[in-house]
Every structure is written in C-alpha cells, then in structure tokens.
Structure 1
Amino acid sequence: MSETKKALILVDVQKAFEDKKWGERNNQEAEENMRKILQLWREKKWIVFHIQHTSDNPNSVFHMANKGFAIKEIVEPIEGEVIITKKVNSSFIGTNLEEQLKANEVSTVVITGLTTPHCVSTTARMSGNLGFDTYLISDATAAFGLKDQNNRYYDAETIHNVSLATLHGEFATIRTTEQLINSL
C-alpha cells in the first residue's frame, strides 16, 4: 500500500444486522477483524469514517428510533471519528463523504462493513469510480444468503465471494485483514 493519506470507512456496522430476518450469514469473525483494523487506525491517528444507514420507515430496523440503528459496540466511534448517515446503498450519495475525503487529502480508502453485496460493494464501486485507491477487506465484511428472481437460493459464502470477484481489479483491491495490516 502506498504512503498516501489513508482513511478507514466502516459501512453499516449496525445492530440491525443481528435481526434474524436476514437469515444465515458468513464470516462470523468480520466484526472482530473490523475491530483490529480500527485499532490500528486509531494507533496511527488516521482518519476514520463510520457510516450509518437510516430509514424514514418507523418499522424499519434501521430507523433512528429503533435499536438496530446503533453502531455495534465492538467498533463504536470515539471522539474525533466522523459519523455519516445515509439513506441509500452508497456511502457517497446524499452525504459529504467525498468532500471530507478530499478536504483531508485522502487518496487511499480502506472499506469494511456490512453487507458485502449491498452497501459495501456499492461504496467500493463509487470510491473506485471517484478515483480513490480503494481496498476492500474480504474478512472484515460479510453477506447473507439470497434468493434470485427464480427463487433459487445462494448461500452467504457464495454471495460474498461473487461480490468480491466483481469488485477485485476493477473497482478495488481485495485483501484480508492480515494482508492489510502487514502492508502498513
């Protein structure tokens, strides 16, 4: 990884994803890996962004009044870390994330969070398209199983791996937590 200014983006690491409605999930160690990366970022005093998904629907697990809106304690923000709320999959749409990255002269972005095929991949695509040197940490993200338009089920690990494959080399560089830490 280059010596440029770096930022860590933790996407939607919220209690909402503990709801049983999502079904089976892969990568049960994702949050622990996020914590390790966050700890390193804090030690180096690098920029950290916590992205929080919100919904206007009061019945949504992501509504601000519901317990699912909260960021998980394992990566709870501390003073000085930026919290950005969003209403769509991309952390860049309808937020000032791009402006904050540019104002801080960040050129390298490391992305972790939930879930790989949705907000994480959308944020990684946008980051790459905006010209940031983007890294997505494969074991610090996770997916849930999904059904396609023909009601065929794909398990969480398959969804996760296919999502990573669609990003690697075009929008982002895919690394593990260990690979990332060893490169810094």
Structure 2
Amino acid sequence: WKKMVWLNKFKVEFEGYRRGQRVRIKLGQEFTNQNLAPTFHFGRFVVGCWAAFTYGSQTLLIHIGQHQPSERTSKRDHLGINGNQYASEINKPYLIPYLLSLNIEDFWVVQDNAGYHYSGQNRRVYPAYGVQILHHPTSSPNLNPIENVWGIMKAQLRQQFSIPENQPDNKNELWAAMEAE
C-alpha cells in the first residue's frame, strides 16, 4: 500500500438552511391571508475540488473551477470537468509535481475511469513520467479510500452548517470552510 497514490475529485453542494418553523393551521384555513407568507428560495452553489494522498503524504485541497456556458466544447458538454481542464488545472500544476516529489519507485496511481482522466493529453503524460495507472470503475467508493475522506469532510461541513450563523453565503465562503476542514 505504500506504493499507491489515491486521487479523486468531489463536489460539495450547498442549498441553504432548510429547517422550517412548524406551524399548526386549522383544517380548511390553509390559504387564508393570515396563514400565507412570501417564500424565499435558498441559493444553491457548488464547489468542486481534487486531492491525492499516499502513505505519509497528501496534496493540498485543489479548487476546480466550473465551466461557463460560453466554454461549452460540445452539445453533450454538461459544463463539468473535461480532459483539457484536468490536464491544465490538475495534472500539470499539481499531480505530476506531487508524484515526482514522492521519490517512490514503481508506484501506482489509483483513479476511476472518468473520461477526463483518459483524454488524449492525460493518457500521454502518464507514461512520460513513469506513472502506472490502476484502473477501477467510475463512482466506486468502496475501492478508493479517498472517498472515505470526502465522506468525513462532508459530514463535518454538515455539522458546521447546521447552525444558521455558520452557513456560507457564497462559493468563496464555502471554499474557505472546506479548506479549514
């Protein structure tokens, strides 16, 4: 296990405080003016990130930016991470330098079969640096221990955000809370 490097991305979605006040209304009076109030729809925002770890070492939590509609590469592009973004925002600046800093011979990188891992430029860069890839199915949390890290982090964020005053108002505040965890 000391020669395995586990990596993955994940996202945190925040939809605001949902616990409402309970009100008892007499049957048949649900729609009287005194029982109606304007509604407020909570803002929803998503923050994506990436990290890797191995025995005794881990990367920082890396923020993954979300594409804008103007950056759509095809009709099927759902504005998630793509191969070019993974290469330029993860592989080149973070993953490859991290792997080279480990000074481990014959290590294996464990990543899922997400399409962006195997786009042309990502598929070519791994052999150039002697990276061996251990493939496993997409979205298989029981095979990659980093999924457990994400679960712990999300549980801690849920606990922190259960207090309305601690809830983030935007993506930057959510990212700051994620980095603190």
Larger radius of gyration: 2
TM-score by length of 1: 0.33
TM-score of the pair, normalised by structure 2: 0.34
